């Protein structure tokens, strides 16, 4: 199996497409499609979002860990989407996702 050491903090804009292609071709990654609503999960002292999550119909908040995720996903906040990305277990009750694709859904996601 191909191993790929992925650190989202090292991504810069021009490299994203190449890294996403590598991620999609890597065999050992846990790429999944997940439906939900993108929501702010953390805020700064000026009430600006600092952390986003994908809130699933099962009631789980999956933390979005892409670098610059606030700017990249701002137009999807409070919208129903299907994302494709690498799911990671942070502990037994918390998961994160590095999103490679976002597709808006026009049907309501049942929570």
The full DSSP string for 21-73 is HHHHH-SSS-EEEEEEEEEEEEE-TTS-EEEEEEE-TTS-EEEE--TTHHHHH
Half-sphere exposure of 80 (CA within 13 A, CB side): 8
Domains and CATH numbers, the chain: 31-104 (2.40.50)
> Coil, strand or helix: which one is 93?
coil
pLDDT at 40: 92
Q: What is the pLDDT of residues 21-34, one digit of tens each?
A: 665 555 556 789 99
* Residue 11: predicted pLDDT: 44
**Confidence at residue 16, expressed as pLDDT on a 0 to 100 scale:** 55
Task: Answer with the residue of higher pLDDT: 48 or 22.
Answer: 48
pLDDT grade for 2, boundaries at 50, 70 and 90? very low
66 in Cβ contact with 16 (< 8 Å) = no
């Amino acid at each position: 199996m191909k191993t790929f050491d992925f650190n989202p903090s090292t991504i810069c804009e021009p490299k994203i497409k190449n890294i996403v292609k590598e991620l999609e071709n890597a065999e050992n990654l846990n790429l999944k499609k997940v439906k939900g609503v993108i929501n702010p999960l953390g805020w700064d002292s000026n009430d600006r979002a600092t952390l986003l999550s994908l809130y699933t119909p099962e009631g789980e908040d999956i933390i979005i860990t892409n670098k610059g995720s606030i700017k990249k996903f701002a137009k999807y906040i409070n919208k129903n989407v299907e994302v494709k990305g690498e799911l990671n277990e942070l502990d037994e009750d918390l998961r994160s996702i590095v999103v490679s694709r976002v597709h808006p859904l026009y049907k309501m996601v049942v929570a």
